[in-house]
A and B are shown apart, each in its own frame.
Chain A
Amino acid sequence: MNKVATAESMDLRPEIENFLYREARLMDQHKFEEWEALWSDKGVYWVPCAHDSDPMTEVSLIYANRAGISLRLGRMKSKAMYAQDPRSICSRVVGNIEIYPRDDGGVDTYSTFNITEFKRRANITRQLTWSGHSEHQLSRHGDEWLMDYKKVTLINSDGEIPALGFLV
């Protein structure tokens, strides 16, 4: 990646950073409808398994188009998604944000995240840490930015990981 920050990317930084922080907060708070509203109609949500993989020929953890995102959220909203009953309590920290404006007026971003997850079930409690790298492709629609594409690479995505019942 030979991209460099420009004056334009510096101008956009406050609002793009705020977008990513807000997205993280909506995921922390399990606000599925508001999170879904961050997607454009083009939305593709990809969480690879192997780090260098092709989603058409290799298995992913998640590869969803816009309809698939809605289907996933529909299930997550239900109390009968037992892997999230009760829901995990999560705290996300998003950092190392790089912002690169595109010629079409949109921006590409790279960022890292850490999620601390707390789960309590009857007589068990567990606290886990998740981390990885995100790539967003955002486009401007009127006053707001929307996600056209989000790729999330967990550092341990091709390892042995517990059930991932929340959004990343």
Chain B
Amino acid sequence: MLTPTRGYTQYDELIQEDPEFGFRINHHLYKDEEIFQEEMDRIFYKGWVYIGHETEIPNPNDFVARVMGQRPVILCRGEDSKIRVLENKCRHRGNTVCQEQRGNSKFFRCAYHGWIYSNTGGLAEMTHPSAYGDRLPAEGELDLLEAPRIGVHRGFIFASLAAEGQPFEEYLGRAADYIDRYCDLAPDGEIDLSAGRHGVSYEGNWKMQMENLTDAYHAEFTHATALAAFAANSSAGKGKFSDRGDLEDEISTMRDLGGGHVVLDGFELNRAQGENLQFTGSTGTLTEEIVGKIAEREGSREKAVWLTHGGGSHITVFPNLMILWDAVRTIQPVSLHKTVIYYHPAQLKGASQEINTTRIMAHQAGFGPAGFLAPDDMEMFERTQAGTISDTDPWVYLNRGLSTQRVEKDDFGVEAITSQYLGETTQRGVWRHYKKIMSGE
């Protein structure tokens, strides 16, 4: 492994908490190339990252090409049905061995010198091995490198390129409750991500999307036109923030779950809206079809109504998984100044095609490169990145809700740092964890 040419950045100088000024981050975190490389190393190569979903590779020999940090990998289900993450790199000269984005194949063949690997990672055929003479590599020595650790929760597949470190369950922590609740909105208790994906790129740092998903504050402004359009077309399902009265008196929704995982928890707020569910609803889940099927599953109509009327939260799972409304989203850092967001519509297993089509339509009305919401977010990220050139005051203060936030029990009866939804509790939660990871703690 290449030794860094200098010591790691001092992150406690860039992310600071103090009674005098509150909480602040330095915008060099968005524009320093060495910091980006340190993030790749400490967050994306040593830590756990979300890599894909079981429903994207349902059958033996299915694969999808993914990128972990900046490294090309193959997420595949071997002919033995086991899920693996293989580095997409021939062990001979280092060529990528899988060029397609998805498919079904028992083998990955390097076109350069014809080496063939099985989808369980093993080197199945080395062409003309005799030329190695007595230096022929031993059996298994030149297999594709494999992520040593895989963790799966409700179909969500995470991987770590480090052999040792924080156990998966501990990493996922309290995010698991919220992922579970989202999946529970499907009649079969599982979501299906096989309806394709959108890929939207922006010229800005990846952490801008990480901070944004639980930033309720921007919605009323950045998304004014989208929210007006959705309100005018109630079938699109989402309401207007500005119709919600005195926001300062709102039911608390912003929670820091620890471990960098944060949510806009709309359960209680949603239930208070009854059939007019607007905020964090999930399309189709209030239909009799879904409520009825969930009632059957749970053996309780009351429980089904409670679940579906709570909806799904806005969930950010550190560092790269997000769930909002009708889709699962991932953050793909490309370089310091370039990021791709992938959006996968989440179909409900056990629901009719009619309902899942409604979900796909509702998702694409908002998101993807031509949706009503996403382009305006990308525009804001690019403007933020553009602003970081001005170093006169490099500090970004995240003090909203700092003096009023409190520890409160959430829908699962577990205590979490909580504030009303126009705070910055979730941003602070992400940055505190980031600082811990980047400081090597």
Contacts and interface: CB of A to CB of B under 8 A. Distances in A.
Contact of A59 (B233, B360, B379): B360
Contact of B386 (A58, A124, A159, A162): A124
Interface of A: 47, 49-50, 53, 56-63, 67-68, 71-72, 74-75, 78, 80-85, 121-124, 126, 158-165
B95 interface: no
Nearest to A47: B370
Contacts of A59: 195-198, 343-345, 360, 363-364, 368
A61 to B, nearest CB: 5
Which applies to chain B's interface (DSSP): helix, strand, loop or mixed? helix
A57 to B, nearest CB: 6
A165 B353 contact: no
A126 B202 CA distance: 12
A162 B200 contact: yes
B83 interface: no
B201 interface: yes
B375 A56 contact: no
26 contacts: A49-B198, A57-B353, A59-B198, A59-B343, A59-B360, A68-B365, A74-B229, A78-B224, A78-B225, A80-B225, A81-B225, A81-B376, A83-B375, A83-B378, A84-B375, A122-B383, A122-B386, A124-B386, A158-B101, A162-B200, A162-B201, A162-B369, A163-B370, A163-B375, A165-B370, A165-B375
Nearest to B380: A82
Contacts of A85: 379
Nearest to A124: B386
Of the candidates A47, A61, A163, the one having the most CB atoms from chain B within 10 angstroms of its own CB is A163
A124 B343 CA distance: 27
A81 B199 CA distance: 20
Of the candidates B232, B343, B370, B376, the one having the most CB atoms from chain A within 10 angstroms of its own CB is B370
B374 interface: yes
Contacts of B39: none
B50 interface: no
Contact of A124 (B195, B340, B356, B382): B382
A60 B389 CA distance: 36
B93 to A, nearest CB: 27
Given A50-B196, A67-B233, A121 B382 contact: yes
